[in-house]
Amino acid sequence: MEPDLTLYENLLEKKREEILDSLEVSKESVKPVTLDQASVGRLSRMDAMQAQAMAMAIEQRRKDELIRIGSALKRIEAGEYGECIKCEEPIAPKRLELIPTILTCIECAEKKG
């Protein structure tokens, strides 16, 4: 029996929409820190910059995730989805449901460390 790829396709599409939504929301928080010397002291300016750096790191992670989702969708199209990129064995469906962008089976993932 063929694996039901539409399930994973839907999961990936949904995840992509969620990320695009949150990227839209976080645009505000990654605006350059305004250096208002009069009202903002040195310490709180550092806080603001730290918060901005964190927001940017989160946004970067979301963008990385979007790239992974895109390549997972390409793998579905190419008929390669669900195959471990290391040992080429099928990845457990439960694992794919949990992390639809995963590229390796559990055995290879554990070997890595």
Instruction: Give the footprint of Zn ion on this chain (CB under 5 A).
Output: 84, 86-87, 105, 108
Q: Compute the CA torsion angle 79, 77, 19, 50 (nearest 10 deg).
A: 70
Q: How far is the CB of 87 from Zn ion (least distance, A)?
A: 3
Nearer to Zn ion, 23 or 103 (CB): 103
Q: How far is the CB of 101 from Zn ion (least distance, A)?
A: 15
Q: How far is the CB of 104 from Zn ion (least distance, A)?
A: 5
Nearer to Zn ion, 74 or 111 (CB): 111
> Which of 94, 88, 113 minimizes the C-alpha distance to 104?
88
Q: Give yes or no for a contact between 52 and 34, defined as CB atoms under 8 angstroms apart.
A: no
Nearer to Zn ion, 17 or 107 (CB): 107
